[in-house]
């Protein structure tokens, strides 16, 4: 049985393995021992805080196989982005060039640098190791974050965003960055990507063009990838779209990948979550549906997914097998939340 829980110091080696396997473009997990250790420490401190409003917290989780102890994936939530280090995006807009005298009317797409998502909560760092990409584990990692946020609303913004990985090749080269590099920078995309992952964003304000960029002046290759995701990111984007996330014209500065957003109360998982009381039974059988279940706690948060669940709408009870209750660290009569995967 696989269980999602807050990361601990003992998970450093597993997190580094995930960072290596995630490859170029996965800026939230750069291969840097000091930074990875600090992410674990920051997450532990975030879970330990008593809060009434979101600030600069980051919640990092790992998916563990209880039988083998192996870590198969990770996922995370940033409580309020851009509060300490500015969060930059390009916003896609339009400008009109019109001359009544010459009878000319041209609409031109532009990209304007902004900080519009400051203070939003961000879901990020979702990665499932390739050998574990089967069944519903990836969907579980994506959706369970919304349940955690709904159970601790005081810790998060009501606007949730997700920055999607943009188009790049197998060597980590981005067509969009290639154009920026030629005109404004002298470093390769993987290096810029790595600097962002390290939190070093000073060069953005120093070197990025301050005025709107006319999209039709970009190379055809750069124009073609604006707002598009990496091939490996398409399944993650489809999942978020099913949850109600929308792209409203914001793209990443470096690879032009889309940022999507939704209001927490409108997210499908939050709307479909059931809250009930736990019943433990040796006789519970597998059902047709797979349920994601959570114990609703904070630093002792546990969540798992299983088909051995019976939900009774009238009595508001979840009946589960003893091993499921053990995985969630719950006893008979405890509160539990869940939704159908």
Question: Which residues are the active-site residues?
Answer: 230
Kind of pairing between the strands at 246-251 and 213-214: unpaired
Contact 185, 178 (CB under 8 A): no
Give the DSSP letter of residue 244: T
**Axis crossing angle, helix 175-184 with helix 189-197, rounded to the nearest 10:** 90
**Alpha carbon 184 to chain centroid, angstroms:** 29
Name the helix (H) or strand (E) containing 14: helix 12-22
Backbone angles phi, psi at 309, to 5 degrees: -140, 140
Rounded distance, CA 172 to CA 175, Å? 10
SS3 31: coil
Backbone angles phi, psi at 261, to 5 degrees: -145, 160
Backbone angles phi, psi at 136, to 5 degrees: -110, 15
SS3 341: coil
| Of 143, 329, 102, 340, the residue nearest 238 (C-alpha) | 143
Where do runs of H (alpha helix) occur along 152-299?
A: 175-184, 189-197, 202-207, 220-225, 234-243, 268-272
Per-residue HEC secondary structure of 55-78 comes to CCCEEEEEEEECCCCCEEEEEEEE
Tally of CB atoms within 10 A around 98: 10
Sign of CA dihedral 20, 25, 26, 32: positive
């Amino acid at each position: 049985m696989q269980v999602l829980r807050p990361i601990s110091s003992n998970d450093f080696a597993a997190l580094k393995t995930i960072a290596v396997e995630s490859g170029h473009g996965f800026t939230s997990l750069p291969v840097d021992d000091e930074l990875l250790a600090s992410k674990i420490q920051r997450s532990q401190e975030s879970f330990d805080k008593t809060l009434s409003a979101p600030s600069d917290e980051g919640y990092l989780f790992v998916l563990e196989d209880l039988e083998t102890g192996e870590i198969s994936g990770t996922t995370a939530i940033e409580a309020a982005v851009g509060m300490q280090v500015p969060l930059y995006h390009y916003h896609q807009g339009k400008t009109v060039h019109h001359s009544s005298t010459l009878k000319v009317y041209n609409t031109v797409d532009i990209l304007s640098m902004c900080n519009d998502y400051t203070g939003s909560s961000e879901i990020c760092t979702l990665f499932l190791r390739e050998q574990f990409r089967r069944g519903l584990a990836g969907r579980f990692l994506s959706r369970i974050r919304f349940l955690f946020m709904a159970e601790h609303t005081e810790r998060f913004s009501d606007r949730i965003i997700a920055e999607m990985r943009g188009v790049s090749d197998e060597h980590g080269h981005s067509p969009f960055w290639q154009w920026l590099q030629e005109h404004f920078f002298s470093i390769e995309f993987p290096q810029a990507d790595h600097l962002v992952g390290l939190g070093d964003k000073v060069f953005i304000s120093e070197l990025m063009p301050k005025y709107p960029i006319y999209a039709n002046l970009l190379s055809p290759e750069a124009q073609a990838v604006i707002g598009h995701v990496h091939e490996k990111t398409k399944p993650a984007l489809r999942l978020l779209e099913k949850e109600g996330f929308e792209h409203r014209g914001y793209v990443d500065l470096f690879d032009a990948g889309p940022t999507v957003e939704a209001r927490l109360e409108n997210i499908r998982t939050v709307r479909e979550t059931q809250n009930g009381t736990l019943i433990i039974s040796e006789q519970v059988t597998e059902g047709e549906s797979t349920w994601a279940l959570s114990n609703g706690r904070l630093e002792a948060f546990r969540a798992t997914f299983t088909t051995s669940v019976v939900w009774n709408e009238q009595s508001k009870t979840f009946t589960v097998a003893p091993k499921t209750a053990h995985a969630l660290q719950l006893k008979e009569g405890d509160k539990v939340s869940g939704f159908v995967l």
